[in-house]
Chains A and B, each alone.
Chain A
Amino acid sequence: MNVNDKEELELDLFISMVKSYFDYDFNDYSRASIKRRIKQLAVQSGVEHISELIPKVLYEENFRDVLLQSISVTVTEMFRDPSVFASIRNEVIPALMILPTVNIWHAGCATGEEVYSMAIILREAGLLQYCTIHATDFNEASLDIARQGKYPLENIKGYTKNYIAGGGICSFSDYYTVDGKWAILDPTLREQIRFYRHDLAKDEGFGMMNLILCRNVLIYFKKHLQDHVFNLFDNSLDVNSFLVIGDKETIEFSPIANSFEAFCPTCKIYRRG
């Protein structure tokens, strides 16, 4: 048996231990990505082989959080893919304006940058106070950062560029104050946002939504988990509601493809028929 085969075997054992003990099934995730993350976790934990992580699952306190933190790819930014946010601003928001109240769900919101971006757009449209924004992720450590709304100042330059490219109409600096190396986002942006833990693989939906954003999360799932999540979204969306997914994700081959029409062909915004 060569090194690679051994590694695969160890990974299988580790994944099955995590499933039995924590009830997370990482068999539903893209294997190559998971393998890379777990190998990095082994290096960080100072062990040579993936199999040496197995006792940690059982006996190390907080290992669940450590594991989730290293499995979940938390990389995100404000107004990522500005053209998508421009379309939300110019096409989706006008359609939401006619509703008495608006329910929005950010699934897999990571550290929250995308959620605050949305809140800014809603405020500029005068719609924020009529919205409830549910922002969820299965990684509690990321949610903690999201709740604080405090981000490294060095990122602000890029965010400002994105904000402008996404059709921002105010001065981005109005939305944060500087505290040392941190940019603190205007806390009133958070008033309509509820952050909570939710696992897309296991948990139910929570009511009818007018807009769901789930970007760059489905790329990590295997086809059947993607389909499961698409069904969850389908059941959580009213007629005429919107679904926004990542630039490289598609509902085309999913079981819900026929219930949705492409609302904006260039930027992965779909509308439920």
Chain B
Amino acid sequence: MLGYEAVVIGVSAGGFTALSSLLAMVPETFPIPIAIVQHRKSDEHNYLSQHLDKICPISVTEAQMNADVEAGHVYLAPANYHLLIERERQFSLSVDAAVCYSTPSIDVLFESAADTYGNTLIGIILTGANHDGSNGLQKIRECGGLAIVQDPASAEYNVMPQCAIDAAGADHIFSLDEIGHFLAGIRHGCSH
């Protein structure tokens, strides 16, 4: 059985509700790290990470530069910064040009994470109204990682998941609930 080392999630419009219900299903002692890009304009007081941290059993914080990517944590890309994962399994940040009008960009996180984790990475695309994340998910698949996309029919906004499926394909097309169960089933890096 393949051991997974990290999960990356990309989500845009509709993300507040989707993340609130998805992350509530992830246990406090989740055995691998989760890094998330949620498109948003600005968020001076880290409102989103604080809200998620409050309602979820697992700890949710904004990712900081140079910080180790640790198991049992959910990290959110800060507003206005791209988030990348380095080979040393540390976060780095960038104010590079927007991708698909978005900083942070899902593609940027996914591509760097695929470089770092290869076939031990899980990439998940949720609800959204643009095509960010399609290239990133494709790269994850090329590197042998697992691609999960929220079923467009059940997503609040179907464009982003549909684009991802069209461009990259998916190993699983799941409802939000099924994604939650899948994640909850990951024990010590393995999915049962």
Contact = CB atoms under 8 A, between A and B. Distances in A.
A174 to B, nearest CB: 27
Interface in B27-58: 44
Interface stretch (A30-38, A44-52, A121-129, A138-146): A30-38
B152 interface: no
Contacts of B92: 30, 32-33, 219-220
Q: What secondary structure prevails in chain A residues at the interface with B?
A: helix
Contacts of B95: 73, 75, 216, 219
A33 B142 contact: no
B96 A32 contact: no
8 contacts: A32-B84, A35-B112, A73-B95, A83-B44, A220-B94, A248-B64, A248-B65, A249-B65
Most buried by A among B66, B81, B108: B66
Interface of A: 2-4, 8, 30-33, 35-37, 73, 75, 83, 216, 219-220, 223, 226, 248-250, 253
Contacts of B108: 36
B156 interface: no
B94 A219 contact: yes
A83 B116 CA distance: 36
B43 to A, nearest CB: 11
B93 interface: yes
Contact of B93 (A31, A219, A253): A219
B97 interface: yes
A264 B132 CA distance: 36
